[in-house]
A = this chain, B = another copy of it.
Amino acid sequence: MPSPMEKAGILVEALPYIKKFYGKTVVIKYGGHAMVNEELKKAVLTDAVLMKYVGMQPVIVHGGGPEITGMLKRLGIESNFIGGLRVTDAETMEIAQMVLVGKINKDIVGLINDIGGTAVGLSGKDANLLVADKKLHLMRNPDGSEEAVDIGLVGEIREVNPGIVDTLLKEGYIPVVAPVAVGEGGNSYNVNADVAAGALAVALNADKLIILTDVEGILADRKDKNSLLSTVTMQDVPRLIEQGIIDGGMIPKVECCTCALQGGVGTTHIIDGRVPHSLLLEIFTDQGVGTMVTN
């Protein structure tokens, strides 16, 4: 255990980072393992509270995790698939919203408040924060032609009204946002949480977008944990995708980052949410804990 003097030393080491990020807005996409494991959960949210107290403006956008699937199963709601994609019908959307907004979001809010911050939960429906259009899925037919297929209440974000988030930040609250958008006729739409976080970061003119994932970051060699690319520029991305270094679920995450950068966000980070306090490590140490995607 470090001595009191060592502890003081560590606080002092954090000072340049605290200074650097003072007053900056940081949008955190919170998902994956870090939302399931109790200890990681507490660590992530403690980091967010600490960020708030040392002068940053953290905004949390959370994903859904396995709980939606669990609840659908319990209710015996079967999912239809079109071209491999789950169709979000009205009943599925209703359950997804209940779990996202009524359970996960409130759990996060309650935990933050318990740790010592003051969180307020929002969905994209509150104050029309996230407005979506219906998103059609482009399916490739056997003859090579493409066809737009209806996959239900899945939305594409068309407009962000960040006023309510600005108000909450200005008054000292930590906003926690569930990825449910409002669409035509007041319907709820399911939106991808990474995309929602990126769009919100742009609308808030955020300094940083941090996406918590279940991988180390972008590895030059997938089999070698030590081959982490700590920085990747937007220009590198197409080549890295071509080389297969960025692939699978990492592709949309990186695209979120480039989108956010093009929208004016300062820097974007894909970090390893399985490491406790990865947020603090990313912000308060030089090494970082993942890959920074930058201009």
Contact = CB atoms under 8 A, between A and B. Distances in A.
Interface string A185-203: 1101000000000000000
A57 to B, nearest CB: 14
Interface in A109-146: 109-111, 113-116, 118-123, 125-128
Contacts of A59: none
Interface string A83-121: 000000000001001111111011001110111101111
A94 B98 contact: no
A6 interface: yes
B2 A2 contact: yes
Interface string A31-58: 0000000000001001101100111000
A2 B10 contact: yes
Interface in A180-228: 180, 182, 185-186, 188
A247 interface: no
Q: Would you list the 6 A-B pairs with minimal beta carbon distance, nearest first?
A: A102-B102, A98-B102, A8-B277, A101-B102, A114-B186, A98-B98
13 contacts: A2-B6, A2-B10, A5-B275, A8-B284, A9-B277, A18-B54, A19-B53, A19-B116, A54-B55, A97-B102, A101-B102, A102-B105, A110-B186
